[in-house]
A = this chain, B = another copy of it.
Amino acid sequence: MTAAVTKTPAVVLLSGGMDSAVTLAVAQANGFAPVALSFSYRQRHELEIRSAVAVAEKAGVARHEIVGIDLAAFGGSALTDPGIAVPKHDRAQDIGGGIPATYVPARNTIFLSYALALAEVTGSRVIFIGVNAQDRGGYPDCRPEYLDAFGRMAALATAGSPVRLSAPLSAMTKAHIVLYGMGLGVDFSLTRSCYEAGEQPCGRCDACLLRAAAFAEAGIADPAVTP
């Protein structure tokens, strides 16, 4: 007779995009029972939540929290302010450097803070986040030194066991993430990357272009794109 093994819970930030879907699969492959956490933050591309729900269901996630927060109240981003256009380009290599207009002030800090609260109440000691090597340049709150600093703060912030961050894709390009995810059995057809509101991906925002370039480099057809 074998004893039932209770898996250790871990909070996984799940956006509906490809990176967090792979991160969820990594958490499961490492034996964690994911508590998925998504945000409805009045983002232009609110449809991504539908994708997050589909990804979580397919992965058999037992608990998926969708928290409504109003990041639009403060403004300052193309993703939450209808008056600021989402930058468009023809090719991925045309995407410029610097902080893009799609940067949402302190968004990852707010997301991770909620994840910390959820980790504390669920007894999770790890928070998984799907940042990758290509995010580093543009978004300050995706850089490894930022994540390290958040982790040091998180370890002091709660009443229970210290909570740590895990960013298993942080050294990977998006092409590598596609391949890693294929190996883990991620169903990329359920994921959504576009920053725009439409049912069909616009194909020209940074998120669409970087995704297309990743699948092209990986030599795999994107199952979310109708040929």
Contacts and interface: CB of A to CB of B under 8 A. Distances in A.
A74 to B, nearest CB: 5
A156 B152 CA distance: 13
Contacts of A75: 121
Contacts of A141: 156-158
A75 B121 CA distance: 7
Interface residues of A, number: 41
A71 interface: yes
A108 to B, nearest CB: 8
Interface in A58-109: 65, 67-71, 73-76, 99, 103, 105-109
Contacts of A121: 74-76, 105
State the oligomeric state as a number of copies. 2
A129 interface: no
A150 interface: yes
B157 A106 contact: yes
Given A157-B146, A159-B140, A109 B105 contact: no
Interface of A: 65, 67-71, 73-76, 99, 103, 105-110, 112-114, 116-118, 120-121, 140-141, 143, 145-146, 149-150, 152-159
6 contacts: A76-B120, A108-B157, A140-B156, A140-B157, A150-B153, A153-B153
Interchain residue pairs A-B with the least CB separation, the first 7: A106-B117, A149-B153, A105-B120, A76-B121, A113-B113, A106-B116, A110-B113
